[in-house]
C-alpha cells in the first residue's frame, strides 16, 4: 500500500544525522574507550580528547559556521552526546557543559563583537568553557546567590564564589551569573564572560566525586575581580532570565547524556544476559531477567522520543520549557534505573570494575541532580501545566 507522506510523522534519522552519530561513535571508540577506566580512577580531565573533539566539530555543535562551529541542530546534538556518553558519560557531560552552557550562553545572548571574539575559540576547543550559576548555599534556589558585581567606572568588581562548576580549573573562559541588584529579585542578576587569567579570578577546590570522574568539577573564586563592562552579556538585570533559557536547552543535553548512559548500560546487560549461563541456560531465557530487559528497552525508547520531541521544538524556535523538563526528568530517572538493573543482571560481576556497568551506575546519578534536580523539573512542569 502506498502511504501518503503528508499523513506521516518522520521518526527516522536523516542520512546526515546517521553519519553524525556514526562519526561520534567511531570517535569515542578510538579516542575514549581505551582510557575510560584510567581517567575514572585517576580523576584525570583528559584535555587532549577535547582538543580532538574540537577538530571533529563536537565542541561547537550548535554554533553557526560563520563563528567556526558546525552549524548543526539539536537532533544531531543529542546523537553526539548520546554516542559519547555510551562509551564514557563523563566525557559526554563535559561536552554537554561546554556546548550547551558556556558556548550557548554566549551564542544566544552575546553581542556580535563578543560572539566573534569568543565563539571561534570555543567551537574549536582552543578554549574550554565553564558556566557558573550555583553557589555553596544556593543550588535550586539560584536567585538567592551571594556573588555580587558592583559597578566601578566602566568596570564591574566581582566578589564571591561559584560551586560545582564543570571545567572550573581547566576552563579558559567562564560565563557567570552574579547579583547586581536585590537578593531574590529575578531581575537582580547579570551575566558576565570572564577569561581565565583575569586578576582576582581563580579556581578553588576540585571535587572528588562518586561518578563522572573524568569531568572536572571545581569552584570559581572571585576576589575583587575587575571585569570590563564589554564582558557583560546582554542587559544588566537579565542574567537570571538568560540562565533559565540556557538551562531550557541544557536539559536536552542532560537528557541526551542520560539516554547515552541508559543505552550503554542496557547494551552491556543485554549482551551479558545472552552469554551468562546458569542452570544450563543463558540467563536471558529467565523472565526475571528478560522482563527487566523489556522494561529497560521500553523506557529507553520513551526517553528518546521525548528528547527528540524537545529537540524538534527547540530547532523550530518554539517553547521547550515543559517538554525539555519532562525529557530531562524522565531520561535521567530512567538512566539511574537502567544502570541499577544492568548491575543487577550482571550479578557479582556487575559490582566489579571488570564490567562497564558499575561505572554507568555511579555516573548515572549525576543526571537526576545536575542542571536542575528531578524535583525542580517537577516544579517547572507542574507550574507550566497548571498555568
Partner 1 sequence: MKILVCISHVPDTTSKINFTEGDTKFDTNGVQFVINPNDEFGLTRAMWFKEKQGANVTVVNVGGPETEPTLRKALAIGADEAIRVNAEATDGAFVAKQLAKVAQDGGYDLIIAGRESIDYNGGMVPGMLATLTDANFVNTCIGLEVEGNEATAVREIDGGKETIQTSLPLVIGGQKGLVEESDLRIPNMRGIMMARKKQLTIVEPADASNETKAVKFEKPAPKGAVKLVSPDNLDELVSLLHNEAKVI
Beta bridge partners of 156: 151, 227
Among 18, 42, 137, 278, binds partner 1 (CB under 8 A): 18
Cell numbers found for residue 174 = 567562564
Q: Segment contacting partner 1 (CB under 8 A): 57-65, 165-173, 226-234, 356-364?
A: 57-65
| Interface pick for partner 1 out of 30, 42, 137, 224 (rule CB under 8 A) | 30
Which are the catalytic amino acids? 371
Q: Are 220 and 174 in contact (CB under 8 A)?
A: yes
Give the interface segment with partner 1, choosing from 13-21, 41-49, 101-109, 188-196 (CB under 8 A). 13-21
Taking the complex as a whole, how short is the minimal distance between the CB of residue 172 and partner 1, in angstroms?
21
**Residue of 57, 171, 249, 350 interacting with partner 1 (CB under 8 A):** 57
Helix 239-275 and helix 321-346, axial crossing angle in degrees, nearest 10: 30
Phi, psi of 45 (to 5 degrees): -90, 105
Q: Which is nearer to partner 1, 48 or 154 (CB)?
A: 48
User: Between residues 19 and 305, which has the closer beta carbon with respect to partner 1?
Assistant: 19
Neighbours of 237 (CB within 10 A): 15
Give the span between the Cα atoms of 183 and 187, in whole angstroms.
10
Q: Between 78 and 220, name the residue whose CB sits nearer to partner 1.
A: 78
- Measured at the CA of 42, the angle between CA 38 and CA 47, to 5 degrees, comes to 80
Binding flags for partner 1, 65-104, as an x/- string (CB under 8 A): x----xxx---x----------------------------
| DSSP-assigned letters across all residues of 267-334 | HHHHHHHHH-EETTEEGGGSHHHHHHHHHHHHHHHHHHHHHHHHHHHHHTT---HHHHHHHHHHHHHH
Residues in contact with partner 1, total (CB under 8 A)? 20
Residue 179's beta-bridge partner residues? 148, 189
Question: Cβ of residue 207: shortest distance to partner 1, in angstroms?
Answer: 31
Q: What number of H helices and E strands is found in the chain?
A: 12, 10
Among 39, 45, 58, 74, the residue binding partner 1 under the rule CB under 8 A is 58
Is position 272 an interface residue for partner 1 (rule: CB under 8 A)?
Answer: no
Nearer to partner 1, 120 or 204 (CB): 120
Binding site for partner 1 (CB under 8 A): 15-16, 18-20, 22-23, 26-27, 30, 55-58, 61, 65, 70-72, 76
Amino acid at each position: 500500500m502506498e502511504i501518503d507522506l503528508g499523513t506521516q510523522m518522520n521518526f527516522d534519522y536523516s542520512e546526515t544525522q546517521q553519519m553524525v552519530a556514526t562519526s561520534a561513535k567511531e570517535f569515542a571508540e578510538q579516542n575514549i574507550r581505551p582510557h575510560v577506566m584510567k581517567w575514572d580512577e585517576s580523576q584525570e580531565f583528559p584535555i587532549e580528547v577535547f582538543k580532538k573533539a574540537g577538530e571533529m566539530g563536537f565542541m561547537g555543535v550548535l554554533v553557526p559556521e560563520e563563528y567556526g562551529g558546525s552549524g548543526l541542530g539539536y537532533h544531531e546534538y543529542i546523537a553526539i552526546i548520546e554516542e559519547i556518553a555510551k562509551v564514557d558519560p563523563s566525557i559526554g557531560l563535559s561536552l554537554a557543559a561546554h556546548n550547551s552552557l558556556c558556548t550557548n550562553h554566549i551564542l544566544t545572548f552575546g553581542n556580535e563583537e563578543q560572539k566573534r571574539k569568543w565563539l571561534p575559540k570555543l567551537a574549536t576547543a582552543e578554549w574550554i568553557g565553564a558556566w557558573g550559576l550555583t553557589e555553596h548555599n544556593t543550588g535550586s534556589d539560584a536567585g538567592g546567590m551571594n556573588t555580587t558585581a558592583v559597578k566601578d567606572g566602566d568596570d564591574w568588581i566581582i566578589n564571591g564564589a561559584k560551586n560545582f562548576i564543570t571545567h572550573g580549573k581547566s576552563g579558559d573562559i567562564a560565563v557567570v551569573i552574579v547579583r547586581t541588584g536585590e537578593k531574590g529579585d529575578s531581575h537582580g542578576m547579570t551575566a558576565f564572560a570572564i577569561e581565565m587569567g583575569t586578576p582576582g579570578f581563580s579556581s578553588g577546590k576540585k571535587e572528588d566525586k562518586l561518578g563522572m570522574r573524568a569531568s572536572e568539577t571545581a569552584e570559581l573564586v572571585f576576589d575583587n575581580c575587575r571585569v570590563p563592562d564589554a564582558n557583560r552579556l546582554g542587559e544588566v538585570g537579565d542574567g537570571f532570565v538568560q540562565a533559565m533559557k540556557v538551562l531550557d536547552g541544557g536539559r536536552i543535553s542532560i537528557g541526551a547524556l542520560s539516554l547515552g548512559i541508559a543505552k550503554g548500560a542496557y547494551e552491556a546487560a543485554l549482551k551479558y544476559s545472552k552469554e551468562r549461563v546458569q542452570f544450563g541456560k543463558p540467563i536471558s531465557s529467565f523472565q526475571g531477567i528478560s522482563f527487566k530487559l523489556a522494561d529497560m528497552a521500553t523506557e529507553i525508547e520513551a526517553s528518546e522520543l521525548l528528547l527528540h520531541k524537545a529537540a524538534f521544538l527547540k530547532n523550530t524556535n518554539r517553547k521547550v520549557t515543559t517538554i525539555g523538563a519532562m525529557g530531562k526528568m524522565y531520561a535521567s530517572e530512567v538512566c539511574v534505573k537502567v544502570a541499577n538493573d544492568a548491575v543487577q543482571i550482571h550479578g557479582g560481576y556487575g559490582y566489579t570494575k571488570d564490567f562497564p556497568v558499575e561505572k554507568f551506575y555511579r555516573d548515572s546519578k549525576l543526571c537526576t541532580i545536575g542542571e536542575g534536580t528531578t524535583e525542580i523539573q517537577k516544579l517547572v512542569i507542574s507550574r507550566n501545566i497548571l498555568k
